[in-house]
Amino acid sequence: MGKTPLIPHALLGAPGQLSISPGVISGGHVFLTGMTGSAADGSMPYDPELQFRNAFSKIAEVLKEANQGLETVVEMTTYHVDMRKHFDLFDRVRLEVLPAPYPAWTAVEVAGLRREGALVEIRAIAHLSE
């Protein structure tokens, strides 16, 4: 089983710095690296809603490299800092950006994330559609 890295132009900086692929196609699926809500310039917005939208936008950019959309996401795990404070807002954004049928989902509260100021990191798996 081979693997094909997915590195969207908009995310070119991070892979080189971190030695990762934002996404990898393997075995009929796209496996996505966990995405935080940093802005295109790398800064971390203070606004939680903007962070959540940015994270989903980055997932969409990676999927677009594989000619896929957010509707192909079949599973996601979200890691939240201060989850109870921001969960309802995150869930509202999730329901706006992910179409039904919704993916399987596990939400985990964590003490912190690698990126300073990040409130969420979203890891996802998508199925390659025809």
Distance from first CA to last CA of the chain, Å, rounded? Answer: 19
Q: What backbone phi and psi angles, to 5 degrees, belong to 68?
A: -125, 165
- Over residues 26-84, the pLDDT tens digits come to 999 999 999 999 998 889 999 999 999 999 999 999 999 999 999 999 999 999 999 99
Name the residue with higher pLDDT: 2 or 117.
Answer: 117
- Is 43:116 a contact under the CB 8 Å cutoff? no
The 10 Å CB-count burial string (b at 16+, else e) for 77-90 is ebbbbebeebeeeb
- Is 120:87 a contact under the CB 8 Å cutoff? no
Q: The whole model's pTM is what?
A: 0.92
Structural domains of the chain in order of their starting residue, each with its CATH number: 4-127 (3.30.1330.40)
